[in-house]
């Protein structure tokens, strides 16, 4: 799944259709959402819990995460809080161990945790290493650590990576990088190599003239890598009862956008939940879903 300029709008079910469809999930269905003490992550935890799933809300700040989970539990929702900083391998290891002790099996993983240090109209790469470490490597390391715990049920396990259109392949102006990422034989080693080249160009001060994405460059590269990893992972588990997709929620009103945006976190979470809870027989894999002109219009393309 590499997003290109060939994206096409496709029909997508109305939000009202999910409650009336046969539910493949129950309270025993376990979902993990990272970076969920606020914004889209928090709204997604709430929506999934409202739909009757057991949801683990994770956050890197203990007090904020605990407070968020308690607010949802006070509404009668089945939500648990676990501490998790995806940028810290030790934190991932501790989280996975605790999750294994308390739950053992997983059905849904939403890699939502992400950072940027730029204002909307800025493009500094001062914190590029932290952005890449969190947005790409954090999601990748956590996913790999949790893969053995997926239930692999007939309803199909689901991984949804919250991504961005900024990570579209057509934002890359360097033909060599584009050729690597377009390859049918794309591997994790290739993706790591591309990320390494970017960080080296940042270190050398050459990134502006080397054809990387022009807007929020470090964030865009982190999502470019995440999209590419989604494609590789989906191919690895094709036909193995596990679906791997990306979702770009569009310009959403969150702290990352300083409250600016075209729709709310709740709106984005509603669409994300619909993607996650699609019936097994219509659930795709290796797709990039993009917020369209309205919540009922979703653009998708093959990764």
Cβ neighbours of residue 298 under 8 Å, at least 6 residues apart? 9, 10, 12, 271, 289, 290, 291, 292
Spatial distance between the Cα atoms of 241 and 251, rounded to a whole number of angstroms: 32
β-pair type (8-11, 263-264): unpaired
What is the distance between the alpha carbons of residues 122 and 151, in angstroms, rounded to a whole number? 43
CA distance 46 to 77: 8
Place of tokens 């795709």: 284
**Residue 219 annotated to the active site:** yes
Which residue of the set 42, 137, 219, 229 is catalytic?
Answer: 219
Task: Give the integer Cα–Cα distance in Å for 119 and 276.
Answer: 30
Hey, how many other C-beta atoms are within 10 angstroms of the C-beta on 195? Answer: 21
Backbone angles phi, psi at 293, to 5 degrees: -75, -15
The residues annotated with a catalytic role in the active site are 219
């Amino acid at each position: 799944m590499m997003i290109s300029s060939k994206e096409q709008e496709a029909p997508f079910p109305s939000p009202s259709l999910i409650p009336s469809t046969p539910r493949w999930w129950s309270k025993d269905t376990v979902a993990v959402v990272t970076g969920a003490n606020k914004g889209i992550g928090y709204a997604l935890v709430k929506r999934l819990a409202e739909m009757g799933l057991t949801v683990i809300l994770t956050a890197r700040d203990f007090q904020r995460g605990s407070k968020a989970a308690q607010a949802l539990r006070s509404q009668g929702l089945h939500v648990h809080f676990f501490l998790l900083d995806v940028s810290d391998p030790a934190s991932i290891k501790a989280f996975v161990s605790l999750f294994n002790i308390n739950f053992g099996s997983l059905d849904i993983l939403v890699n939502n945790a992400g950072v940027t240090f730029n204002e909307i109209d800025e493009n500094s790469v001062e914190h590029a290493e932290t952005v890449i470490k969190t947005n790409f490597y954090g999601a990748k390391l956590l996913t790999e650590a949790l893969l053995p715990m997926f239930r692999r049920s007939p309803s199909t396990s689901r991984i949804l990576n919250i991504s961005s259109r900024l990570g579209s392949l057509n934002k890359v102006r360097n033909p060599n990088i584009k050729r690597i990422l377009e390859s049918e034989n794309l591997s994790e080693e290739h993706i790591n190599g591309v990320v390494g080249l970017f960080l080296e160009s940042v270190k050398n001060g050459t990134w502006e003239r080397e054809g990387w994405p022009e807007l929020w460059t470090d964030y865009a590269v982190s999502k470019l890598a995440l999209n590419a990893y989604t494609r590789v992972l989906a191919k690895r588990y094709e036909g193995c009862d596990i679906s791997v997709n990306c979702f770009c929620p569009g310009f959403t009103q969150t702290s990352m956008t300083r409250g600016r945006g075209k729709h709310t976190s709740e709106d984005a979470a509603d669409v994300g939940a619909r993607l996650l809870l699609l019936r097994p027989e219509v659930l795709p894999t290796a797709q990039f879903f993009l917020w369209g002109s309205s919540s009922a219009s979703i653009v998708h393309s093959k990764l």
